[in-house]
Structure 1
Amino acid sequence: MRELLHPVKVVRAAGLADGTSLLVLLGIAMPLKYAAGMPMAVTIVGTIHGYIVIFYLLAILYAQLCLQWNVLWSLLCLAAAFVPFGNFVLDRAIRRRRHQFEIRPIPVKWLVYAVVFFAFLDLFTQLPVMSTYASSLGAGAAVAGLAVGMYSMTNLFGNLASGIWTDRRGAYPVVTAGLALTSGVLLLYSLVASPAALVAVRFLHGFVSGLIVPAAFTFLANVTEKDRQGSQSAVSGTFVGIAAIAGPAYSGIMASRTSVPFVFATVAVLGLGLLLLTVIFLRKQDARSKEERRAGGRLVWRRELLQSFAGAFFLMFSQGALAYLLPLHVQALGFDSRISGTLLSMFGLIAVAVFIVQARVGFRRLPPAMRFTAGLAMMAVSQLLFGHSTSMAVLVAVMTLYGLGFALLFPAMNTLLIHGTTETNRGQAYGWFYALFSAGTVAGSSGIGLVPLPVAGQFIVTGCVMLACVAAVLLTAPRAKILAGSDQGN
């Protein structure tokens, strides 16, 4: 049984099953639907393929945790799921290197990274399908917008509650509650039959999913050595970036072949699997004594903490504005609407690549304050340039700069938060941090649309607002903090 359940065998079997079902879907079911008028073929095969994909995702996670192989192998396995014959080519490569992959004790950190991936996968799978799903239930434009925005609004309050409860009870009970409740709410989408019911489920979904991320990041920060905080933040950023790439692609493809509730149900299964692993492995890692619970302190508004909060808000302000403005700008240039999605995916790939470099080698000579200002400045300049980009080559170059800035900023502001807090108040800090994430998204996507300027002018306003934040950081930070190298900046 031990040999049968070896992670290499499991991931190979799941990959071959996924590759076979994908070929059946594309080579048999799709022609039957469009050439022979048999749509039921896609429904049946698509449903089977969806369940196989769930098993494959769990197998990749299982292999990553047990083998601790290079994360590039997991990325290749994930990418192969969307490429015909990709799984078969990858299977041959894995089989040749079978002797290199040995089972190792599962580090608790990797389990928490998987929880972070789940939380952001849950978020990003919603983006391409929620507005159209609301419309399919009969919602008008206003109610569809309410359904989309309700998640972010209640997510903010979930983040704040998570921070308070994490400092009082520890990360473990909050993470387990978040995983259980989020998985349950994801399954409720299959019962939704009206716009009002959708808004109610979105209300619950936003709040309970907001419990997970602050608690998970607090746990990672508390168990990581001080001189490794930057690398840890880069690794967690890698998982966020992977979720940003995989989530929209997965939900867009699967929702078109099955249904939106089915997509959310597959994510729920992943959450329930992680819940089981969390109960088994994390329970004894985060026990809190009564004295530690009473010692939960108030936040001290240190400079590093304020910079981190500003970074959280303006990073997502930039993201929200870009998500709103880029499709309009691409359409005005006469390009296909899918180009904007391709550009955003490319930004995610660049960010993940830089995250991996930071995680492996670190930027020890660049303290977090310098990376913070450099990253935010790159993103601000990119916003200024987007409005004046008229060719695909220029758009790609600007998006590359934007992705690099994002990849520098995200780990830096996490490191600043850790340096500006203690274990007794770090949960509250992460609660506010991710609440500002939600607030920044709303301000960027909704607020910038209220500016009475053309799209190019709105890009300029976004860039100028962000540059003002960069100037404020430079003016208020001691010069030594910005310019001097430090090992603690890793």
Structure 2
Amino acid sequence: MKYLIYFIVIAAFIDTFSQLPIMSPFAMTFNPSPAFAGMIVGMYSFSNMIGNILAGYWIDKSGAKRVLVSGLTLTGIILVLYTFAESPLHLISVRFFHGLFGGFLVPAAFTIISNIGNSEKQGRKMAVSGAAVGCSAIIGPAFGAVIASNYTINWVFLIIAATMISSAVLAFRFLPAGTLKNVKKENSHEKMLPLLKNPMLAASYLGAFSLMFAQGTLAYLLPLQVEALQIDAMYSGILLSTFGITAILIFLLPINKIFDKYKHHNSMLTGMLIIGIALILLSSASSLGFMFLCMVLYGTGFALLFPSINALIANHTTEKTRGKAFGLFYAFFSLGVVAGSAILGFLGVTFDRGFLIAAAILLLTVCGMSIYFKKRSPQILKSGSD
């Protein structure tokens, strides 16, 4: 069962990552204005945040399995509709619903992962989940680019649609329904605001935003840096794969025991610190070899941060609130990606200054959170095991 849910995580993120190399060119085939083309590309992330939040409420009301199966089915249907789009307005409508229904998948999948198996090993479970995400980050862009170049873009959508619908059938057949039948109905209407007031959950949300702000910065600025240094453009993808491979190795090797050995909020702060340092070093990198070292360091920080922030959610929620907690968490994830690339693009900064701005935001966040944890550690930790 756990392998099936990890497969579904891979499928969900491949759906997202496979769009990266193809969506902008696909949007331009409809001859939209440059501004409207940007809206088409960004619409997925916008509606994905809405889907994440709606999924959180639905998971706690009806169970993660139902949300996951529905999300997989609806996403598969919407992917087919890409092949029927005939105008920019059609395409942006499909993008909206693709992001909306796609937003159901990850909160539901991670809620199921956190609910199965040993609750004392949330860190290692989230590390393996992180490896699944890392595999998607490596496979997805290559899959989208290869299929689109050798066949047509429509085949990318159709293949992923078939994968989604097949996953929905497998999830419906093999995943357990869960234990929400024992939860009182009124609990499903609890608000999200109390979750934001929980110090550990708020820290996790801030960690998620910081991680994906850095990720959005990297995705926006790294190709510009490669171009400025007159390095072959293909190395942009190879460098991004380097950080992903580094993270996957840490997730899967026996070293992943550290995720349950140390306090999750401490490994979260360590990961943020390492990513900040990696961005500072990357801002002054002038050779390809040094950039590879920076990406290995970045991948190490990512590997420490991603499982820790997920484990904080799992450890500081109950089954009746975990869906909303993960929904809100991945909404911050999406917001960070959008903010990282959009803010720096608006500022029009060079790659070196952009990396320094992102690093400064991360390091200031680390300092603030460290001071807070140090002052209030006894009160915070008594609210749940960490």
TM-score range, shorter chain: over 0.9
Aligned pair partner of 2:342 in 433, 440, 446:
446
Q: How do residues 152-167 of structure 1 correspond to structure 2 at under 5 angstroms? A: 152-167=45-60
Partner letter of residue 264 of structure 2? P
Q: Measure how far apart 1:209 and its partner are.
A: 0.5
Note closer, same or farther for the CA distance 1:358–1:139 as it changes in structure 2 (3 Å cut): farther
The worse-fitting range, judged by mean Cα deviation, of 454-463 and 468-477 is: 454-463
Structure 2 gap ranges (5+): none
Percent pairwise identity: 38
Is the contact between residue 160 and residue 431 of structure 1 (CA under 8 Å) also seen in structure 2?
yes
Is the contact between residue 234 and residue 359 of structure 1 (CA under 8 Å) also seen in structure 2?
no
Is the contact between residue 6 and residue 129 of structure 2 (CA under 8 Å) also seen in structure 1?
yes
Is the contact between residue 312 and residue 433 of structure 1 (CA under 8 Å) also seen in structure 2?
yes
Note closer, same or farther for the CA distance 1:175–1:184 as it changes in structure 2 (3 Å cut): same
Q: Measure how far apart 1:257 and its partner are.
A: 0.7
2:98: which partner in 1? 205
The worse-fitting range, judged by mean Cα deviation, of 263-272 and 295-304 is: 295-304
Is the contact between residue 124 and residue 260 of structure 2 (CA under 8 Å) also seen in structure 1?
no
Alignment partner of 1:382 is 2:270: no
TM-score norm. by structure 1 comes to 0.74
- The alignment yields a C-alpha RMSD, in angstroms, of 1.9
Alignment partner of 1:263 is 2:156: yes
Q: Measure how far apart 1:291 and its partner are.
A: 4.2
Is the contact between residue 234 and residue 358 of structure 1 (CA under 8 Å) also seen in structure 2?
no
Q: Tell me the alpha carbon deviations over residues 417-467 of structure 1, each in whole angstroms, 9 at most, x when there is no partner.
A: 122211111111111100011110110011112225322111111100111
Q: Measure how far apart 1:478 and its partner are.
A: 3.2
Is the contact between residue 116 and residue 240 of structure 1 (CA under 8 Å) also seen in structure 2?
yes
1:234: which partner in 2? 127
Partner letter of residue 44 of structure 2? Y
1:289: which partner in 2? 181
User: Which structure is larger by alpha-carbon Rg, 1 or 2?
Assistant: 1
2:43: which partner in 1? 150
Note closer, same or farther for the CA distance 1:170–1:377 as it changes in structure 2 (3 Å cut): same
Structure 1 gap ranges (5+): 1-107
1:469: which partner in 2? 365
Q: How far apart, CA to CA, are the structure 1 residues paired with 2:250 and 2:45? A: 28
Q: How do residues 389-404 of structure 1 correspond to structure 2 at under 5 angstroms? A: 389-404=285-300
Q: Measure how far apart 1:222 and its partner are.
A: 1.8
The alignment partner of 1:285 has SS state of coil
Q: Measure how far apart 1:171 and its partner are.
A: 0.5
Is the contact between residue 121 and residue 260 of structure 2 (CA under 8 Å) also seen in structure 1?
no
Partner letter of residue 96 of structure 2? F
Q: How do residues 8-23 of structure 1 correspond to structure 2 at under 5 angstroms? A: none
Q: How do residues 219-368 of structure 1 correspond to structure 2 at under 5 angstroms? A: 219-282=112-175, 284-286=176-178, 288-289=180-181, 291-296=183-188, 297-298=190-191, 299-300=194-195, 301-357=197-253, 361-368=257-264
Q: Measure how far apart 1:479 and its partner are.
A: 6.9
Q: How do residues 405-416 of structure 1 correspond to structure 2 at under 5 angstroms? A: 405-416=301-312
Q: Measure how far apart 1:113 and its partner are.
A: 1.5
Partner letter of residue 215 of structure 1? A
Is the contact between residue 188 and residue 201 of structure 1 (CA under 8 Å) also seen in structure 2?
yes
Aligned pair partner of 1:177 in 55, 61, 70:
70
Q: Measure how far apart 1:138 and its partner are.
A: 1.8
Is the contact between residue 250 and residue 256 of structure 2 (CA under 8 Å) also seen in structure 1?
no
Is the contact between residue 303 and residue 420 of structure 1 (CA under 8 Å) also seen in structure 2?
no
Note closer, same or farther for the CA distance 1:401–1:480 as it changes in structure 2 (3 Å cut): farther
Q: Measure how far apart 1:255 and its partner are.
A: 0.4
Partner letter of residue 148 of structure 1? V
Q: How far apart, CA to CA, are the structure 2 residues paired with 1:188 and 1:452? A: 36
Q: Tell me the alpha carbon deviations over residues 162-214 of structure 1, each in whole angstroms, 9 at most, x when there is no partner.
A: 00000111101111110100000011111112222111110110001001111
Note closer, same or farther for the CA distance 1:290–1:423 as it changes in structure 2 (3 Å cut): closer
Q: Tell me the alpha carbon deviations over residues 84-139 of structure 1, each in whole angstroms, 9 at most, x when there is no partner.
A: xxxxxxxxxxxxxxxxxxxxxxxx22222122111111000001100011112222
Q: How many residue pairs were aligned?
A: 377
The worse-fitting range, judged by mean Cα deviation, of 299-308 and 334-343 is: 299-308
TM-score norm. by structure 2 comes to 0.93
Q: How far apart, CA to CA, are the structure 1 residues paired with 2:117 and 2:135? A: 22
Is the contact between residue 183 and residue 272 of structure 1 (CA under 8 Å) also seen in structure 2?
yes
Q: Tell me the alpha carbon deviations over residues 263-283 of structure 1, each in whole angstroms, 9 at most, x when there is no partner.
A: 11101111111111111112x
